[in-house]
Amino acid sequence: DTAVSQTPKYLVTQMGNDKSIKCEQNLGHDTMYWYKQDSKKFLKIMFSYNNKELIINETVPNRFSPKSPDKAHLNLHINSLELGDSAVYFCASSLSGPGRSQPQHFGDGTRLSIL
């Protein structure tokens, strides 16, 4: 049973399109996250939700909009995709809030490629 699952695993699309990545966790965790792995392989936090409430919103273009319909799901919608959005996006979840004493569990990542 996959703990944190994200779909799709690969996404290839044209510049200017709108796309969504879905994430679900079955761990009963309260907090979920979206990270971007940039070209230098750094992991940068984008958003974090705790019990459906946005608690971290880093400097990310407005074209990125997270949505948490319930605490087990955190989806990422991206409008007007640009070449620079090409990256691997990781979803994660944890029992307690960001940076607290509970580890994060990561999904397998979604590799987004913009043509």
Q: Which residues bind another protein (CB under 8 A)?
A: 40-45, 48, 55-56, 90, 97-109
| Least Cβ distance, residue 43 to another protein (angstroms) | 5
Are 58 and 46 in contact by the 8 Å Cβ rule? The answer is yes
DSSP 97: -
If the CB atoms of residues 40 and 69 are measured against another protein, the closer one turns out to be 40
Element (H, E) at 106: strand 105-106
Cα torsion 20, 63, 94, 53 to 10°: value is -110
If the CB atoms of residues 14 and 28 are measured against another protein, the closer one turns out to be 28
If the CB atoms of residues 56 and 60 are measured against another protein, the closer one turns out to be 56
| Least Cβ distance, residue 41 to another protein (angstroms) | 7
